[in-house]
Structure 1
Amino acid sequence: MRRTADRSADLERLLSDGPFPAALRAAITESGLSLDRVRHRLARRGLSVSVPTLSLWQSGRRRPERAESLRVLAGLEQLLELPAGSFGALLGPPKPRGRTQPPGHLVAVSQHDRADIDDHGRLSAVHARVVLRAGGTGLERWPVRWDLEPGVTPKILADRNCRVAGVEHDLDRSRLTADLVLDAAPAPGESVIVEYRAMFPARPAARRFVRTLERPVRDYLLEARFAVLPALCVRMRDAGPGRELSPDSGGTVHVAEADAVGRIGIRWES
């Protein structure tokens, strides 16, 4: 077992006072292991957990509660050479279970992005279709956030059940935020389909598209449709190596994920 003296003061404090996500993140960082290596080593111990789930635990967007997840947590304590029960003591009482939405929020249930790439290999447009569910009354605004490439700013246009109320540019964080106002606020528990698009200027740009999902989306689909097939197309993800994608007969590649969160994208080379 790793001695207390071998652990940083910050990690010791987090293991004592929490919160759990920060303690887990710090312990994995100090181990020097990637999330994929953590997953692999747990699998060798007979414990199954996905990289996205570990990422969700680290971010605090999800917590281990089921019996299988708690076994994984105990395995993490052993793998990271921490005292037994270190993580479990930070979890506190379980949260109420169920599929109710957070009160006072619009939640993306599913999202479909289609990126169009022109015959010069440039990203020309992204068409987005989002299914939103209301967790309260009077909810009519949905912020759309984009990570900007240097010198390239898209124009956001509303296509279905919404209008663009305002656009803000955060140059320090290289981010654009467009505020979409729904045509009609859905009743609590009801859903609405929103469609919009981002149009990009016809100028040289990085040959990739990345969507940042700040909250988990139950079903996420990203398509890239090419006017001219690239020499190489690769799936991009927060954790784990890239994976080469093969286009279908229509010149399209895609990435589909369940409970998706974080940065998900596709890059290509002409």
Structure 2
Amino acid sequence: MSIAALSYWQSGKRQPERTDSLTALGELETILKLPAGSLLALLPPPRPRGKQAAAVQPVTETVRFERDTLLSLLAALGAPEALDQEQQLTLVGLHDRCQLGADGGQRSITTRAVFEARTDGQDRWLLIYNSDDPSAGPPELTTVRNCHLGRHQVDTANGLMVAELMFDQPIRRGETYLIEYELENAGPPYPTCNRTHWREFRRPIREYLLEIHFNSATVPGRCQQFARPAGQKHPRMRNLTLDACRSVHAVAIDFGPGLFGIEWE
């Protein structure tokens, strides 16, 4: 690795992005006796190059929560453009498993996500979590498989959390990568979730699977899935049947942008 390359990295004029540079960064961590991934976690996402850099278009679709509040949080994280820049990871599939407590509150959410890289060197995913009950405090974020926690910020007043989930290794264009993480709330009592769980997709997703697992004390009388594509005022509703494990699930195929979730009475 050249002295010039190190100088560019230190000054911020350039950043390690190519596979050999990221490998060198890992060797530096070993030489400097730093925890694995500690230098990698300091890097911003890889910058688009060539035609892809010219093709970046802002995403104008609004979010469910206050956009300005989220932008302030992203700025504090060090990623002020994350909301509107073109994503270099395609979210291929997502699986949420929501566990409710005996008081009907949200006990935990376990998520598996599969991505496909559109450019080389992709190494993180930005998680944005919005709580329906800010007074309960933020959940504990635990990485389960193939990732670790990078930079993160919490807005307790508005119940917002943003966090970088760092991949254990960068992936190349066309490669897929699977991660798993869990959000666990303190309780009981567990945070109220307004008898609903939903995801907002600002870009299309090929498949989204949502499971809701009820406690025996909180079995609902009625469950419905709802899908509200962007630009539509009223959601499409569909009744769901509780299974033998006191659970319901809903699947969205080639959905987005828009809101998709399950509500119950």
Amino acid at match of 1:122: G
SS in 1 for 2:202: strand
Partner of 2:202 in structure 1?
A: 214
Deviation track 1:123-142 (CA, whole Å, cap 9, x = no partner) reads 11111011111111111010
Q: Structure 2: which 5+ runs fail to align? A: 1-59, 63-84, 229-233
TM-score normalised to structure 1 length: 0.57
- Alpha carbons of 1:235 and 1:104: their partners in 2 closer, same or farther (altered >3 Å)? closer
Partner of 1:231 in structure 2?
A: 221
Between Structure 1 and Structure 2, the one with more helix by share is 1
TM-score normalised to structure 2 length: 0.58
Among all aligned residue pairs of Structure 1 and Structure 2, give the percentage whose two residues are the same amino acid.
28
Partner of 1:158 in structure 2?
A: 143
* d(CA) in 1 for partners of 2:157, 2:100: 28
Partner of 1:199 in structure 2?
A: 184
- Alpha carbons of 1:241 and 1:187: their partners in 2 closer, same or farther (altered >3 Å)? closer
Contact 1:236 1:264 in 2 (8 A): yes
Give runs of aligned pairs for residues 136-151 of structure 1, distance below 5 A. Answer: 136-150=119-133, 151=135
* d(CA) in 1 for partners of 2:166, 2:144: 12
Contact 2:104 2:192 in 1 (8 A): no
Match of 2:168 among 170, 183, 190: 183
* d(CA) in 2 for partners of 1:173, 1:117: 22
Amino acid at match of 1:257: A
Partner of 2:90 in structure 1?
A: 107
* d(CA) in 1 for partners of 2:155, 2:202: 17
Amino acid at match of 1:256: V
* d(CA) in 1 for partners of 2:110, 2:245: 17
Give runs of aligned pairs for residues 23-62 of structure 1, distance below 5 A. Answer: 59=61
SS in 1 for 2:171: coil
* d(CA) in 2 for partners of 1:167, 1:236: 30
SS in 2 for 1:183: strand
How far the C-alpha of 1:243 sits from its partner, in A, is 3.2
State the number of aligned residues: 171
* d(CA) in 2 for partners of 1:212, 1:205: 19
Match of 2:101 among 108, 111, 118: 118
How far the C-alpha of 1:237 sits from its partner, in A, is 3.0
2:261 aligned with 1:265: yes
* d(CA) in 1 for partners of 2:86, 2:226: 33
Contact 1:104 1:136 in 2 (8 A): no
Deviation track 1:215-254 (CA, whole Å, cap 9, x = no partner) reads 1110111011112222222223334244332111221101
Q: Structure 1: which 5+ runs fail to align? A: 1-57, 61-101
Amino acid at match of 1:245: L
Larger Rg: 1
Deviation track 1:177-216 (CA, whole Å, cap 9, x = no partner) reads 1110000111210001110111122234123222122211
2:134 aligned with 1:134: no
